[in-house]
Amino acid sequence: MSARALLALVLVVGCAADPAPAPERPRAEVILEAVARVHGGAGPFAVAGHRMGERALTDLGLRRGEFALEVEHTCPRQVQWSCIADGLQAATGASPGKLNLSLAFVNDGQPTESRVRDRRSGRVVVMGLKDEFLAAFLDTPMDRLREAGARVAVMSDDEIFWVRSEQAGP
C-alpha cells in the first residue's frame, strides 16, 4: 500500500471515529428536566418524589422501568401532595397505564407516604416527607416553585424524607 493510500485510509478511519462524549450535566439539572417532562414543572414536591423514587430503586436494586416495580402513593386529594406521584413516575418509570403506579386518597391530616415494592422479592421501601421539609416548602408560591425544586434537587435524602424497609409477599 502506498504512503498516499495509507494516509487516506488513516484520515477516513480517523474521521469516522465517534465524537468525544458530551460533558456530563449536573445531576440537579437532569432531575429538574426529568420531572418537568412528566409533571410540566419541577416544584419541590414533584422533585422530592423523584428523589424518593431514585432512592427506592437503589435500595431495591431495580432499574427504571422494570415491570417488577410497583409504586403506590397515598395522599390527600390536593395538588402539592399528588405532585409527589409525578416525581415518582419520572424517576421509576412506573405509570398508571402500566398498572404499576397508583394513587390512594386519604382525608386531610392523614399520613402521606409512598410505597415502592419489588414484586419478585416482596421487598418494600416506604417513604414520607420530613416535617422540616414541609416547614420549608409547603405552600411555596407559584413564582418560586422552580427555584424551590432546584434546592430540593441538591439536598440530601435525609433532609427530604424518611425511609423504612418492609417485607411483603411477592
Distance (Å, whole) CA 139 – CA 147 = 14
Distance (Å, whole) CA 134 – CA 148 = 12
- CATH class of the 25-167 domain in this structure: alpha beta
Q: What is the pLDDT of residues 96-143, one digit of tens each?
A: 999 999 999 999 888 899 999 999 999 999 999 999 999 999 999 999
Q: What is the pLDDT of residues 158-167, one digit of tens each?
A: 999 999 998 8
pLDDT-based confidence at 23, cuts 50/70/90? confident
CB atoms within 10 A of CB 69: 24
Helix pair angle (145-154, 27-39), 10° resolution:
130
* Residue in this structure with the C-alpha cell 409512598, named with its chain if needed: 114
Percent of the chain with pLDDT over 70: 86
Percent of the chain with pLDDT over 90: 79
Quote the pTM value: 0.85
Cα-based angle 132, 113, 115 (whole degrees, multiple of 5): 130
Asked if residues 111 and 55 have their Cβ atoms less than 8 Å apart, the reply is no
Domain range summary for the chain, segments of one domain joined by + = 25-167
Instruction: Say what the pLDDT of residue 170 is.
Output: 61
